Amino acid sequence: MQTTVRSAITFTGVGLHSGQPARMTIHPASADYGVWFKRTDISLGDTMIPARFDAVEVSPLCTKIVNGAGVFVSTIEHVMAALAGCGVHNALIEIDGPEVPILDGSSAEFVRAILARGVRSLSAPVRAIEILNPVAVHTAGGWAMLSPGQGFTMKFHIDFVDEAIGQQTKALNLANGTFVRELSNCRTFCRRAEVDYMQANGLALGGIPGENAIVFDGDKVESGAGLRHDDEPVRHKMLDALGDLSLAGAPIIGHYDGHKAGHAITNALLRELFANPDAYRVVTCDAAMAEQLPGAGVERHDIPAVA
């Protein structure tokens, strides 16, 4: 059955790029509501923004959603990944600023709070998007593909010049708490060569190496207590991809393959998918199908000890 959070959960912090403080609360919602954001700091006009692929405004460094009135919320990918990875289908997220708090740079704090508060079943079945035929998007920088498969599986490859990152490839079946165990505590990262440029252009103003981001500089790693996984960068890219794919509006049954892909490529992939009706169908999940989706069977002990 569809789910929502058992009761309201509040987070406070600063935005990674804006540096602005924000208070954000995830509220329970009814079946078939989906996920919506509401800007509580804006008093006039339309303040509701759907967490959907067609509300995304292309941004190279984060996922930003915008409504018809121009009201937006950015860097939603980590909380969206947490909701998807914990199997939460419906929620109203109120926020009093333009950017979701970065917290520790991963989804861990969102996941811990959601699982501590609990998830409540609703009186409607889960509907999923089953991939029937492959769809792909290629750019000069990378590519991504959705193809048929059982449950939801993901493979990701990255390639950076910094020796501390290099080439990394990982494949996971995201059923049965895998997201919570393997990906939820993996933090956002960037290269030292990019930090000064971003900050000079009004970005990464809330970033603090070792506290809410990892910074790589050649063979050096600025991450406080060190990496949480040897391949934390590729795992974080997978975390981002799950959050971005959740903007499809329903869980996906199939396989995602990302090669040096980012937010823009994954969003373009969803747009390509929904532009091709022969590539997918919406199915009502029975118990066996639902058990293969991210979030099925997640328990609090799945949270990594380092989260």
Looking at residue 129, its amino acid is I
Looking at residue 213, its amino acid is A
pLDDT at 305: 63
Q: Is 103 exposed, middle or buried (0-12, 13-18, 19+ CB in 10 A)?
A: buried
Residue 263 bears catalytic tag = yes
pLDDT at 212: 80
pLDDT at 201: 75
Contact 52, 247 (CB under 8 A): yes
- How far, in Å, CA of 303 to CA of 108, rounded? 8
pLDDT at 210: 67
pLDDT at 295: 86
Catalytic residue among 78, 255, 263, 301: 263
What is the CA 264 to chain-centroid distance, rounded?
13
**In the chain, which residues have pLDDT < 50?**
none
Each residue's pLDDT tens digit, 71-102? 999 999 999 999 999 999 999 999 999 999 99
Cα distances from 53 to residues 71, 93, 110, 239, in angstroms, run 16, 17, 21, 17
